[in-house]
Structure 1
Amino acid sequence: MKSDESGSRVVSRRSFTALTGGALTAGVAGCLGDDPQEDEDGNGDAEYTIFASMPAVWDFVRQVAGEHMEAIDLVPVGEHGHDWTPEPGMVEELDIAAGFVYLRDFAAWQDDAADQLAERDDVVVIEATEGIEFFDSPAEDDDEHFWMDPIACQEGVLNVADGLAEIDPNNADDYEANAEAFNDELEQLNDDIHDIVDRAELEDIVLATHDSFQWWNRRYGINIHSPIGTSPDDAASAADVEEVEELVEDLGIEHVCYDVGEPAPLAESLATEVGAEILPLSPIETQIDGSPEVDPTVEMEPDWGYVEHFREINLPTLETALEAE
């Protein structure tokens, strides 16, 4: 262990596993040690450790930090970022954090952790959502799922870059350059989604798990229909399911989509009922080591970043579901 100029303790990820225990070990057991999210060429010896509060922002940190910092996703592999909650006392155990990156209004524990860590003078709290306006979507008021929009993500990436530069001003130029390069990738991803929509025969998709995709409606004009709300814990009523079944038949929809991080019995039963095929979508809230139970043909890797989730899962699904092939 060593200290930076401000006296903040910094430690490698490998050393971190040996140094901490108790609540933190229980709370982030899926993120440390033999976590497959850590590459063999990872930054375990980096000077600074940055904790991210869900998979999408973990990748933003990873992309911007480059070789200078170690990014750790607090959400364990296999857990859904929207409804995962850490063990009590976890925040107090983050004593080696140089930075904490979170999303406002996404999960109560994130806002609480940000408030608690902001009281310390050795941690920079980075709100990835700063300056990003949520909106009242067809699924919920004040819809916070901005990261499903690659263009909105660009602001989040810049927020991360500013935060990392505050922690490590000596490498601020690198963080700015890395952010610009990643935002170029997001721009290309946005163009590719527009291309799919421009070629599409349909404008509607049916989602039979929780709805975190409504930012696609505002950006691309894709209508997302789900009998379930925005919470993974919500349940569909019989009337809501019947309404979606009628919609499928009226619009000639041949596919039912599901969130790869959730159990999907409703997607399976709905697809069977209307004679549709099942297709995966990733809200980038879950890292899976292997295949979702509902569809073993979908291969996922726990170290996938934001762009991989889109290019390996979301773009092929949109192309098929919207009949843009």
Structure 2
Amino acid sequence: MSSMNRKKRIGLALLFSILLIVVVGCGSQEDAQPKSDKLTVVTTFYPMYDFTKNVAGDNADVTLLLEAGTDTHGYEPSAKEVAAISEADVFIYNSEEMEVWVSSVLESIDTENTVVVNASEGISLLESTEEHSEHEAAGDDHEVDPHIWLDPILAKEEVNNIKAGLIAADQENEETYETNATAYTEKLETLNQEFETAFKGATKRTFVTQHAAFAYLANRYDLEQVSIAGISTEEEPSPAKLAELQDYVKENDIKYIYYAETSSSKIAETLANETDAELEVLNPIEGITTEDQEKGIDYIQLMKNNLAALEKSIQ
């Protein structure tokens, strides 16, 4: 071996040794840093995030996977997001019927280190009444309706499931989680009573909406949801279905057609234009912008907005 090559190899070995010392040294410094006592909690979409924040209070760093405007039904997590789930103390989702990707992700999660919370645990889901389109036949078929959070009473059950998950991960703060959950479920009960009072004695109990997300709400308060499309935000009605709905709206003197701001209102606009009805927002609360959150708008406020909107139809 030449003297030059020997010197080069010695030089490289010395360089790697220096790098190793630097990396180990940095790691030691990082290890020396005090770790946060807060739980790390990953939630899927907005209602799960809001419910969890209300129960966890200051005891957890809660993050949200799906930002506002993301199609909840068609979402697939990135590798980075899957890594965030696997590194979290707690992972909270609504149901495998809503977040259809969860079952495959859970196969790679070590449940010894991450508490997994199915917020719909113990809740009976309603069967879907939608007519299946070609789009759904390709794999977005909903046999049951996953929008349980739009019923304040079922939202209370989800909150209690979330509370149990947080306690399982952090028993030291059990009392705080119990107290926070009780306070929040009392707010949900007040919300429920507002809906009950508003619709008590109503003789006109039907509403027409583009997105079939409100079956649980309708079921809770003895209302009838008539949907233009199905549960999937991407589904569109056939021309025959749209013509049938036009006749229905005219014959039943329907004054308002509801749509969600987070999805296209094209079909609702078409139906409204053909029947001289007005457009009104009915929010499935699948996402909320950071700007609205900063204004103090949350799940309960959006549900109150929905109540005010529905009162225009339910009389």
Structure 1 length-normalised TM: 0.77
Query: Relative to 1, partners in 2 of residues 1:230 and 1:162: Cα closer, same or farther, differing over 3 Å?
Result: same
In the alignment, structure 1 residue 71 sits paired with structure 2 residue 72: no
Which runs of structure 2 are paired with 1:102-113 in the superposition (5 Å)? 102-104=93-95, 105-113=97-105
Q: Residue 72 of structure 1: CA displacement?
A: 1.0
Report the 3-state secondary structure (helix = DSSP H, G, I; strand = E; otherwise coil) of the residue aligned with 1:321: coil
Query: SS of the counterpart of 1:287?
Result: coil
Which deviations, in whole Å up to 9, do the C-alpha atoms of 1:5-26 show, x marking residues without a partner? xx9x997xxxxxxxxxxxxxxx
TM-score by structure 2 length? 0.79
**Cα–Cα, structure 1 residues 100 and 306, in superposed 2: closer, same or farther, change >3 Å?**
same
Any idea what SS the aligned residue of 2:310 has? helix
Structure 2 partner of 1:322: 314
Give the Å deviation of 1:201.
4.3
Deviation track 1:51-80 (CA, whole Å, cap 9, x = no partner) reads: 111111111101100111121111013223
Task: Give the aligned partner of residue 220 of structure 1.
Answer: 221
Answer yes or no: is the 8 Å Cα contact 2:259–2:281 preserved in 1.
Answer: yes
- The answer to whether the aligner puts 1:310 opposite 2:303 as a matched pair is yes
> 1:153 aligns to what?
155
Residue type matched to 2:159 in 1? V
Contact 1:196 1:318 in 2 (8 A): no
Shift of 1:88: 4.0
Alignment RMSD (CA, Å): 2.3
Partners of 2:48 and 2:73 lie apart in 1 by 13
Give the equivalent residue in structure 2 for 1:282: 283
Contact 1:128 1:157 in 2 (8 A): yes
Instruction: Write 1 or 2 for the structure with the bigger share of helix.
Output: 2
One-letter identity of the residue aligned with 2:276? G
1:10 and 1:57 map into 2 onto residues whose CA distance is 29
Change (3 A) 1:81 1:146: same
After TM superposition, give the deviation of residue 142 of structure 1 in Å.
2.4
C-alpha spacing 1:179/1:272, structure 2 compared with 1 (3 Å): same
Paired amino acid for 1:243: E
Among candidates 181, 187, 190, match of residue 188 of structure 1: 190
Give 1:121 shift: 2.2
Name structure 1 gaps, 5 residues minimum: 1-6, 12-44, 291-299
Task: Output the CA distance in 1 between the equivalents of 2:119 and 2:223.
Answer: 25
Q: Distance in 1 between matches of 2:266 and 2:247?
A: 19
What is the CA distance between 1:280 and its match in structure 2? 0.4
Identity of aligned residues (%): 28
Matches within 5 A, 1:1-325: 47-88=38-79, 90-104=81-95, 105-117=97-109, 119-139=110-130, 141-208=143-210, 210-288=211-289, 300-301=292-293, 304-311=297-304, 313-323=305-315
> Hey, what's the Cα distance between the residues in 2 that align with 1:138 and 1:95?
35
Q: How many residue pairs get matched? A: 271
Deviation at 1:206, TM superposition (A): 0.7
Give the number of the structure whose alpha-carbon radius of gyration is greater.
2
Q: How far is the alpha carbon of 1:245 from its aligned partner?
A: 1.1
User: Aligned AA for 1:257?
Assistant: Y
